[in-house]
Chains A and B, each alone.
Chain A
């Protein structure tokens, strides 16, 4: 039982990833899809930070604490920071594309857009 509990945080990260994918797979709105995509990206932040965490350790900033004190892994935090910036950039880009799509077609429902495109080809 304690093994299952110990693996629970990792399972949460996997759950968030799959929940985000579910959102994208069943969505009727592109903005909702992009938000679910940022959810998928958040699951990676969570997984990275979990991997870097240590019990009874403090932040790796030696302002108030002296070097030599046990700290959590700074590498993983740097990776997460990079990942967040990348995620924000991609989100902004996709939202810009969505705005233009809405202006052209008047809708951001993926199903309606697909059938609109098919109608235009018949």
Chain B
């Protein structure tokens, strides 16, 4: 039997077995829509009790903030990993010294649209981060909008402008501040006699910007961290694509 046929047979056996097990399991599930959610009900009433209109944000940043801490560090770890794995090697050079990758060959309509949309997109990103506790959104979503919004400059065809908008050292520090900030905000609860990650700020009225206490601050920390991490990741990938090349041997 050739290697390929053996591989396919192996997969067929594994997938068939897994499919049978899934079928047995799914047979025991209640119908979609009829699954009882006791934990969900508790989470909603807790969120309302803490005057957090967005129950998901309450779950993420208040009730189960430890999960979010871990999740934030996963993204942090990925950005640091990109710094480690996409580093300059001994036999590589980058074109920064020779001449930067300049404006690409794009239609002027695309160029205009990109630059026109950049500021509003960044503004929307900031809005989404700030209003995480009262409307759908939050630090993660807003951070992603911020990071990709900045890259509209690249999509508009000008990598040079992107580089100027995006001093990497600043975002290195911002990412660290965001990640460390989350932990320190959590620790701040200890100083006022509350447990770690406690939501100890006053929780205002439901639906206002100053409601939900610490959730807003956690949102900002996460937004900063996510935006910086994604910018760092994208910067490393773009460097590899546009700038890095093997050193020319004389």
Using CB atoms and an 8 Å cutoff, list the residues of chain A in contact with chain B.
6-7, 9-11, 14, 18, 21-22, 25-26, 50-55, 59-63, 67, 71-79, 81-82, 85-86, 88-90, 92-93, 95-97, 99-100
Contact = CB atoms under 8 A, between A and B. Distances in A.
Given A74-B43, A96-B81, A62 B74 contact: no
B59 A74 contact: yes
Contacts of B60: 78, 81-82
Interface stretch (B26-34, B95-103, B106-114, B115-123): B26-34
A25 B32 CA distance: 31
B135 A74 contact: no
B206 A62 contact: yes
Interface of B: 7-8, 10-11, 14-15, 18-19, 22-23, 26-27, 29, 31-35, 37, 39-40, 43-44, 47-48, 53-56, 58-60, 64, 67-68, 71, 74-75, 77-78, 81-82, 85-86, 134-136, 140, 206-207, 226, 233, 236-237, 240
B35 A96 contact: no
Contacts, number: 145
B214 to A, nearest CB: 16
Given A18-B19, A99-B240, 11 more contacts: A18-B18, A25-B8, A26-B8, A51-B29, A62-B206, A67-B48, A77-B56, A85-B140, A88-B75, A93-B82, A100-B86
Given A75-B59, A78-B60, A25 B134 contact: no
Contacts of B27: 7
Contact of A52 (B15, B35, B140): B35
Contact of B26 (A7, A22, A59, A99): A7
A6 to B, nearest CB: 4
A78 B135 CA distance: 14
A75 B74 contact: no
B74 A78 contact: no
B25 to A, nearest CB: 9
A60 B75 contact: no
A3 B34 CA distance: 13
A14 B140 contact: no
Nearest to A74: B55
Given A7-B29, A96-B81, A74 B134 contact: no
Given A10-B32, A62-B206, A81-B140, A89 B26 contact: no
A89 B31 contact: no
B56 A92 contact: no
B42 to A, nearest CB: 9
Contacts of A60: 44, 47, 54-56
Contacts of B32: 6, 9-10, 50, 53
B191 to A, nearest CB: 27
A55 B233 CA distance: 40
B56 A74 contact: yes
Nearest to B19: A18
15 contacts: A11-B22, A14-B23, A22-B15, A50-B32, A61-B55, A63-B134, A74-B40, A74-B43, A74-B47, A74-B56, A75-B37, A77-B56, A89-B74, A90-B78, A93-B81
Contacts of A14: 19, 22-23, 26
Contact of A62 (B26, B43, B55, B236): B55
B85 A75 contact: no
A26 B10 CA distance: 11
Given A63-B134, A99-B240, A26 B7 contact: yes
